[in-house]
Structure 1
Amino acid sequence: MSNIPETGRTPRVQIRLVVIQVLVFSLLLTLGGRLWYLQIRNGQEYTDEAKNNGVQRVVQPAVRGSILDARGIPLADNETRLVVSASRTELMKMKDDGKGVLTRLAGVLGMKPQDVIGKVRLCDAKTPQPCWNGSPYQPIPVTDEATTQQALQIRERAEDFPGITAEPTAVRRYTAPGKANTAQVLGYLSPVTDDEIEKAKDSDSPYLRSDQVGRSGIERTYDKALRGKAGVTRYEVDNLGRVIGEADRDEAQPGANLVTSIDARVQAVAEYELNQAMKAARKEFDRNTRENYKADAGAVVVMENKTGRVVSMASQPTYDPNAWVGGISAKDYAKLTGKDSNYPLLNRAIQGQAAPGSIFKVVSSAAAVKAGYEFNGNYPCPSSLSFGGREFKNFESRGYGSISLGRALEVSCDTVYYGLAYNEWQKDGGTKPKKKAKDWFYRTAHQFGLGKETGIDLPNEVKGRVPDRQWKQDFWKANKDGWCKQGKKGGDYVEQIAYENCLEGNLMRAGDSVNYSIGQGDILVTPIQMATVYAAIANGGTLYNPTIGKAIVSPDGRSVQEIKPASHGRLPMDNRTRNQINDALAGVVTTGSAAWRFNGWPHDKIPMHAKTGTAEVFGKQTTSWFATYTDDYTIVMTISQGGTGSGASGPAVRNIYEAMYGLDDKGGQDLKKALLPKPQKALPKIQADGTIDAPAIRPYQPEKEKKAEDGTGLTDGDRQNQPQTPQQTPAGPRQDRRDGNQQLAGTPARRD
């Protein structure tokens, strides 16, 4: 037993307890400080790192579906190219914003540094092309034409090209089979923007940053079906970006194929003939302006009468849609949008507006019948009529005596329609209209579908214009101040017109009504509208919505969603009136204004109907119109500043028909040479592996014209297209300065 007293142990124990307490308190203090440091002092930093320690998505773009013609020939498909792209996010981390890397890249690619730098800058209102209008977080294509050697240089010298990739990628290709460009119908693609991604995020077809979307044409209309669905692989990664494992995977779903009603062979013919017609028109002398016709733009539509399906649609000037693939260059962009480009991006078949001239007279004839005038009645066709102190001449000041409406259509007598329109204008109250004015001529035009869209499956179709009383009032309100400022009583033509419009521009005057009745004045139509009208006359009265899409077919060919024809009404005429107009239009090509263009045509085998038109445009040369149809097809062609209807457009339209039906210039038919004697009904077959059984197509090569036998070496067409000067022009033809058309002495009808 120890002799040490108990009280001797107390100080030591207390000291030990104090030390332990200090140690514990120190540990707690250290732990608390560390927790404060981690949670408060550097909390945001570690939070950001933790966010990266999660799941990363890698997108595999879907292969876009092909666009096929009616027989399965690809108009647009995809091909694998070496695409060099730049990550703007990585470049912006560099001190010089990546200019050094892009300059080195330009040297490898053989491009100008400023062009490469321009491609990766973001588009805004002040930034000219080239620039990037897609998401700034998406890799930006610099070129899709890199060679294997260039790609190897970039990948082998990765340290010199941070943020640059060179990968094989499927890119869009516009094939132009048989030289059928089809640019304005197909449209083009460009990258999706952040705004589009945001707007579509809650839809059933959201965008990913890697998506390319249709910007015009059927690429835009059918974008959702063609685009497919991109695949996404989700990887688990740590905060250093190292892959831990694969979370899940959504396989990419390729886009569906779009079968169109376009026939690539007919499209090639239509494009060629429209271009040739414009070239020929530029060699013709315009006696009104004392210079050759400019023929600066044009369009042609070939349509199936009984379905509204568009077989061909061409517009001039045109462009190569491949220019947009991989990002458009500054040079190409300037060519397409500059002041001197004449805007080739416009599809003039649905966006080109002009007064229709005499091809509008089918509407006026139907309006006259609805107003109570007999189609086969007798109506005076004098050389001129006066209304309101102004003289309105018939074509070439020539009169035909008393004729029917049918004969007025055949010979395109203006004064018959002047008289009828003036009578109706008076009945409706003239400049003081009745409360319930009949307005037959304006109302009938609306019932024909004019003044509104046809419903074609292409974006940005324009409405045209029917200048009825409401339009006159609205237009006057919008322009009155400008007219009053410009107008001058007794001034030049423009000043006098402005003066009159300032005072009474809201009134429907006699001159407005009589001019309108022959498709002149303020009325505007598009080629697709007039093709729809003439197709309806041909098919018995149904106004079909024109369509280009024929069917949406799944990549494996198993699912087929056919796009059925739809209509938006019927013509406002009974069968009797329709048949009478039909017969009159047949007379146009046998004894009327287009007869000289259809010599030798086999009317017994392929009945032809037509109407010519030559429309005046203030300050410009006349617009050529030619509207025609057979039992199966309607073709409408127009050429801006091209001259007369039958003169400029007539030969080209006939050539298109001859190619489709396999005809020669003497009326003989060889069905083996016929491109499309009957509309294509069957859809092309797409195999389970995605291959398409499509026939081959060769470029259109028209028959060479026979050489003249007079030793000049010129063809008949060459001689016809030789420029004419006043000294070269024979004295025989009579000329009316109102519309620039000529009438040869002794011919039965004018050449409109």
Structure 2
Amino acid sequence: MNQRSRLSLLVIQIFFVSLMVALLGRLFYLQVAAGPTYRDAALSIQSRDVATPANRGFIVDSSGVPLALSKVALAITVDRTVIDKLPDEGVAVLRKLVKLLGLQYSDVWQRTRLCGELPKGVRAGCWTGSRFQPIPITKSADPALALRIVERSDRYPGISATPVAIRSYPQTLGVTGSHVLGYVGPLTEADLAGANGRTYFRSEFIGKTGLEIEYDEYLRGVPGIKTFIVDRKEAVTNTSQDTKPIAGNHLVTSLDVRLQAASEKALEGAVKRARSMGYRADGGAAVVLDVRNGQVLALASYPSFDPNAFERGLTIKEAQALYSEDNGVPALNRALQGLYAPASTFKAVSVVASKAAGYDLNKSYSCPSEVQVGTRAFQNFESKAQGTISMKKAIAISCDTIWYQIAYDEWVRDGGLRPKSNPNDHFFNAAKGFQVGVRTGVDLPSESAGRLADREYKKTWYEQNKAFYCNYRDRATKAQQTPFLLQLAQENCVDGDKIRGGDAVNFSIGQGDTVITPIKLAQMYAAIANGGTIWQPTIAKAVVSQQGEVIQTFEPIELGDISADSQTIAFLHDALQEVTLSGTSAGIFSRFPVPTAGKTGTAQVFGRNSNGTQKADTSWYASFAPAKKPRYAVVMMVSQGGFGASTSGVGVREIYETLFGVQGNIVKPELALFPKGKPPIKLPRISPAKKPAASILNPEKAKKEIAVTKP
């Protein structure tokens, strides 16, 4: 054998040896080093996890009255993984099922469709969870009918019945509380994928809105997990894990169920009163704050909805109604999400601005019927001239033209259309001091920030809209090409990035582009009431375990102050009380036994409703009481509700009647909600949830119930 052949043989031997070493190394890695990993993976292929959702913790008011709790009910569920395999994809089964249960086929079919399976416009009432989890079509099934379904599994394939813990909102004293409490619902694919950084099991229900989602991590508890080992035929051979569910903790809030009921009733009454006067009144909001610490004592939005409907299962009609403009969009939380021009309630900000600009609040000023600004005459309310009056009287009777003159003069001093490099901007800065345009930070989701229409806003707005206004004739509809709108478009094209004289005077009386939420206005008036401190509105007071142990408390959060001196705040207290004595709300609060302070607001609204009618004014009333030693701030707003006093002012008085125990014109201390004048600070004792009975059917059928719940 020559040298070359020996070399070739050696190379081949080395190759085979290397290959054997690699194979032996890989085998060692798979069987020894990575053995536990692959053993767990193999086990997971043979195991099936069954999650038992935990009982959700209560939400209670400041005295321990349950606002949301859990109770046992019987659910009928549909397994999409089974019915989808049927020749007709379960149509026949569902038709037999709805006939037995007395439901509508269209509602049940919609309820069992994943939202992603349906076109965007027809998703009302669809299933937001996964097709791999049981889809409940009713949670209030008759036990006898449930047993018939379980016993005839051949007739109802993919249909099951099981006792479940459902969320219940008892609506004590008629309280709906839907916008503050929220509701729960099934998991979405995004939830299961960990979009919010949490791990869930498919059978869980979680908070979707309101306090339910804000404090979900405390309320939902820990589900129990039972892991079954199965063979290739899915027969159970063993149980490797069995942990019991741990019930969720309770949430103690600052709400008072009596005050919440009174606020909801007063708000609904205000809306209906406005409608009786011929206004559209498409909705409203009411907020009650403790001025000492910002705690929310009541929060209502109208129209409302029944949060229990989400547990029963929404019909298509109910789901569509939640977002229907004709119904006032009940899903909208107007207290936090509704944005409205604040109108004359904003004059409290203008007082602070005027003082900062050097105006003497104790002097008298002219209140003419109108003020000419450029080519436009800005008129007083009802075009009435009031002569020369004090600024206190100007607040009381809501004179507009005094503020027009002051705001216009300050605009001119700041340079007008050619502003100075460092303008004083007293009105804008006063609004910033009240944190207008900034979210209050209330512990509820989806709060709107509002809008402060200052110089920065105007520049941003101009960049976004310049092309439209500079090509208005080509881009606007014929209906939008009125002489006024054409002139406005031309002005916006030329100098839409600047604060104009009209912008300045409108800003001073809460009109124009500045918009706020009702809870923001309540925060602002609470700050005036307490001497200038801006508190973050809070609803949660504490989280309490099932055993009564306090797990966490939530302390008041101070956000800043309104940058007004004590003399200005004292002036505001006197002037706002004068509103109720001789001003625009004097008729409403005539002979009211508790001195209050407040301000009416009637905001003009530009535009038309969906039916073509002109939009009506927004009705506001912002207040605090008692006038001298304030404890509560109460704000009510009715969208398209007309005048501030006659609509919202009456509603606010009704809330104060409940707070202070007023009947007629007499205070009855025994009827006051807080006899000592202050909401409770001590946490209530929460009664433990009663355990469900051994059977939600009857004792004779307990064994059959076990068959119903068997995994």
Give the structure-2-normalised TM-score.
0.85
Say whether residues 1:226 and 2:226 are aligned partners. Answer: no
The answer for the alignment partner of 2:252 in structure 1 is 259
Say whether residues 1:616 and 2:604 are aligned partners. Answer: yes
Q: CA deviation at 1:196?
A: 1.4
The answer for the alignment partner of 2:334 in structure 1 is 348
Q: CA deviation at 1:495?
A: 2.3
Change in Cα spacing, 1:53 to 1:135, as seen in structure 2 (3 Å) is: closer
Paired residues of 1:52 and 1:239 also in contact (CA < 8 A): no
Equivalent-residue separation in structure 1 for 2:312 and 2:498 (angstroms):
54
Say whether residues 1:448 and 2:424 are aligned partners. Answer: no
Rg (Cα) greater in structure: 1
Percent identity between matched residues is 42
The answer for the alignment partner of 1:517 in structure 2 is 508
For 1:103-252, what aligned pairs fall within 5 Å after superposition?
103-124=95-116, 126=119, 128-199=123-194, 203=197, 205-252=198-245
Q: CA deviation at 1:685?
A: 0.1
Change in Cα spacing, 1:307 to 1:52, as seen in structure 2 (3 Å) is: closer
The answer for the alignment partner of 1:91 in structure 2 is 83
The SS at the match of 1:302 is strand
Paired residues of 1:231 and 1:253 also in contact (CA < 8 A): yes
**CA RMSD of superposed structures (Å):** 2.1
Q: CA deviation at 1:151?
A: 0.4
Q: CA deviation at 1:326?
A: 4.6
The answer for the alignment partner of 2:65 in structure 1 is 73
Which of 381, 387, 407 is the equivalent residue of 1:421? 407
Paired residues of 2:542 and 2:550 also in contact (CA < 8 A): no
Paired residues of 1:235 and 1:243 also in contact (CA < 8 A): yes
For 1:573-722, what aligned pairs fall within 5 Å after superposition?
573-602=564-593, 606-619=594-607, 620-630=615-625, 631-666=630-665, 668-677=666-675, 678=677, 679-687=679-687, 689-690=688-689
The SS at the match of 1:83 is strand
Q: 1:353-379 CA distances to partner (integer Å, 9 max, x unpaired)?
A: 111111000001101111222221332
Which of 384, 387, 392 is the equivalent residue of 2:378? 392
The answer for the alignment partner of 2:532 in structure 1 is 541
Paired residues of 1:50 and 1:239 also in contact (CA < 8 A): no
Equivalent-residue separation in structure 2 for 1:516 and 1:628 (angstroms):
21
The answer for the alignment partner of 1:570 in structure 2 is 561
Change in Cα spacing, 1:589 to 1:130, as seen in structure 2 (3 Å) is: closer
Equivalent-residue separation in structure 2 for 1:107 and 1:491 (angstroms):
58
Equivalent-residue separation in structure 2 for 1:120 and 1:51 (angstroms):
32
Change in Cα spacing, 1:571 to 1:177, as seen in structure 2 (3 Å) is: same
Q: CA deviation at 1:134?
A: 0.3
Paired residues of 1:299 and 1:314 also in contact (CA < 8 A): yes
Paired residues of 1:178 and 1:265 also in contact (CA < 8 A): yes
Which of 548, 552, 555 is the equivalent residue of 1:561? 552
The SS at the match of 2:64 is coil
Equivalent-residue separation in structure 2 for 1:272 and 1:458 (angstroms):
22
Q: CA deviation at 1:626?
A: 0.6
Q: CA deviation at 1:200?
A: 5.2
The SS at the match of 2:462 is helix
Q: CA deviation at 1:53?
A: 6.7
- Mark the runs of 5 or more structure 1 residues left unpaired by the alignment: 1-46, 285-291, 693-752
Paired residues of 1:304 and 1:634 also in contact (CA < 8 A): yes
Paired residues of 1:53 and 1:239 also in contact (CA < 8 A): no
Equivalent-residue separation in structure 2 for 1:339 and 1:673 (angstroms):
39
Q: CA deviation at 1:76?
A: 1.1
Equivalent-residue separation in structure 1 for 2:156 and 2:634 (angstroms):
56
Q: 1:216-264 CA distances to partner (integer Å, 9 max, x unpaired)?
A: 1111111111111111012222222222222122221111111111111
Give the structure-1-normalised TM-score.
0.81
Equivalent-residue separation in structure 1 for 2:288 and 2:588 (angstroms):
19
Q: CA deviation at 1:400?
A: 3.1
AA at the equivalent of 2:483: D
Q: 1:68-97 CA distances to partner (integer Å, 9 max, x unpaired)?
A: 111111111111111001111122232322
Q: CA deviation at 1:174?
A: 1.5
Equivalent-residue separation in structure 2 for 1:493 and 1:100 (angstroms):
62
Paired residues of 1:133 and 1:193 also in contact (CA < 8 A): yes
Equivalent-residue separation in structure 1 for 2:461 and 2:77 (angstroms):
51
How many pairs does the alignment contain?
631
The answer for the alignment partner of 2:491 in structure 1 is 500
Which of 49, 60, 66 is the equivalent residue of 1:57? 49
Q: 1:469-510 CA distances to partner (integer Å, 9 max, x unpaired)?
A: 111111112112222333599952222222221222112110
AA at the equivalent of 1:183: S
Moved more, 482-491 or 190-199: 482-491
Paired residues of 1:60 and 1:231 also in contact (CA < 8 A): yes
Q: CA deviation at 1:525?
A: 1.1
Equivalent-residue separation in structure 2 for 1:491 and 1:280 (angstroms):
34
Equivalent-residue separation in structure 2 for 1:683 and 1:340 (angstroms):
42
Paired residues of 1:382 and 1:399 also in contact (CA < 8 A): yes
- Mark the runs of 5 or more structure 2 residues left unpaired by the alignment: 1-38, 608-614, 692-711
